[in-house]
Each structure stands twice: as structure tokens, then as C-alpha cells.
Homo-oligomer: A and B are copies of this chain.
Amino acid sequence: MPAKKALLSDDALQLVARRFAVLGEPMRLRLLRALIEGEKSVGALAAETEGTQANVSRHLQTLAEAGLVGRRKEGLQVFYSIADPSIFDLCELVCGSLNQQTRARARIFA
């Protein structure tokens, strides 16, 4: 099947917006960044991101509901891990775009 370029329906658009919104919080991106190294417990993530345990737990729940991370319970701990690798492609695209914008802006003063 060739790449479809059909316009998004309003319903699809709503879902896409939701995903972007989930990725639109710095703390959640920090959590995803920390999870690149592999699955980690809530406590470890809280320590690494310097967030409170409660807040980190809530953000992880948001990410899990969006299907971006997976949850695995082991004893007292809960381990989260990246469930959707497309996240990184997304971030790469955005970074590339931001970089290009910055270069373009720089050229104005060159």
C-alpha cells in the first residue's frame, strides 16, 4: 500500500492533538528521555528527574494511557518502559525543524 496522504477527519485530528498534548509537557519528555536507557521504577525515575514521587507517578500514568509507555509490576516496584519507539522519530523531527529555524534566524544577522 502506497503512502496515503488523505486529510485527517475531525475525529482523527482529535486523537492526534491528544498525543501531541501528552508530549507537550517537559516533565513527561524528561521521563521518556530517562527511559531510553531501559525500563526503570517510579522511584528511580523520580530521583533521576528530581520530581516528587506522586507527580512522576501521575505523569507516567498519562503516558501509559496514551500507550507511550508500558507498565510492569514486580513486587513492590512498578517498572515503566518505552512502548512506542515512534516517539524518538517525533523528537528527532522536531529537533531538526527547530534547528533549521534557528539557523534561518541566524542567517538574518549574518
Q: Interface on A for B, CB 8 Å cutoff? A: 3, 7-8, 10, 12-26, 28-30, 33, 36, 67, 84, 86, 89-98, 101
Contacts and interface: CB of A to CB of B under 8 A. Distances in A.
A64 to B, nearest CB: 12
Given A94-B20, A101-B84, A26 B7 contact: no
B21 A20 contact: yes
Copies of this chain present in the complex amount to 2
Contact of A93 (B7, B30, B90): B90
A89 B93 contact: yes
Given A20-B90, A84-B101, 19 more contacts: A3-B92, A8-B29, A8-B91, A13-B26, A13-B30, A15-B98, A17-B25, A17-B28, A17-B29, A18-B24, A19-B97, A20-B20, A20-B24, A20-B94, A21-B25, A86-B93, A90-B93, A90-B94, A93-B93
